[in-house]
């Protein structure tokens, strides 16, 4: 039987995020203003053709696959990203000081989008915050660092949108926020996981220091629906 983390988006959309899913049994995608990810049961040509047929015009999607996928010609392949998938293997729940960590909500979305646009950790839309549990650190009233949750293929919960403003790198903000994210997930009896570009050496070292281990390689495909 396939492990849920071998196809985390599809299994998120059929379990923990079922309420945010559109599509059919084998091909699902998130509500458009939440995030641009799609989950395909088999990552097959048939699945991609079905996604084309059932999705709105000019849709842009990101989907993940462990193995290379040939993209049908009706889709425009914008890019693909080689990543590592990490799973938390730490033995203890972090107990770090949470001073200065703020729970982010709808009033912070504009600042969150600005920080994501600057640092490029991944897509963040007007209602991405509904994926839950975004936290940040403010410096002089401005958002300096943040992270939150993304995919929820139960019982695994992904930590995502980990980013820090370039002016505040090296101050330990990401480490502190990630410890809090890990703690919150573990206290719900869930298991933290995440994805990172396989050439992002600084982030990889940080995640390993926090207790994450590489589980598998993963490829993110960014595709756009072209008019026939």
All domains in the chain, ordered by first residue: 4-84+219-225 (3.40.630.30), 86-215 (3.40.630.30)
In Å, how far from its chain's centre is CA 91?
24
Distance CA 206, CA 173 (A): 11
DSSP 161: E
Query: CB 202: neighbour CB atoms within 10 A?
Result: 11
Provide the pLDDT confidence category of residue 228 given band limits of 50, 70 and 90.
Answer: low
Residue identified by tokens 């019982």 is 155
pLDDT tens for 112-159 read 999 999 998 877 888 898 888 999 999 999 999 999 999 999 999 999
DSSP category for residue 71: P
**pTM check: above 0.75:** yes
> Cα(215)–Cα(204) distance, rounded to whole angstroms?
13
Chain-centroid distance of CA 153 in Å reads 12
Q: What percent of the chain has pLDDT over 90?
A: 85
């Amino acid at each position: 039987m396939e492990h849920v983390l071998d196809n985390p988006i599809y299994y998120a959309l059929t379990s923990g995020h079922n309420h945010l899913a559109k599509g059919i049994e084998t091909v699902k995608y998130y509500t458009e203003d939440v995030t641009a990810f799609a989950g395909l049961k088999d990552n097959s040509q048939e699945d991609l053709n079905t996604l084309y047929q059932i999705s709105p015009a000019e849709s842009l999607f990101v989907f993940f696959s462990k193995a290379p996928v040939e993209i049908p010609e009706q889709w425009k392949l914008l890019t693909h990203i080689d990543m590592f998938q990490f799973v938390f293997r730490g033995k203890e729940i972090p107990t770090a000081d949470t001073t200065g960590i703020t729970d982010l909500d709808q009033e912070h979305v504009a600042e969150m989008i600005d920080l994501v646009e600057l640092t490029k950790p991944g897509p963040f839309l007007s209602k991405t915050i509904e994926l839950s549990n975004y936290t940040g650190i403010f410096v002089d009233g401005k958002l300096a660092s943040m992270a939150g949750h993304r995919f929820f293929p139960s019982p695994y919960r992904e930590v995502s949108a980990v980013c820090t403003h370039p002016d505040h790198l090296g101050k330990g903000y990401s480490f502190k926020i990630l410890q809090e994210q890990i703690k919150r997930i573990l206290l719900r009896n869930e298991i933290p996981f995440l994805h990172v570009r396989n050439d992002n050496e600084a982030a990889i070292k940080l995640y390993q220091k926090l207790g994450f281990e590489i589980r598998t390689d993963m490829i993110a495909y960014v595709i756009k629906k072209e008019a026939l």
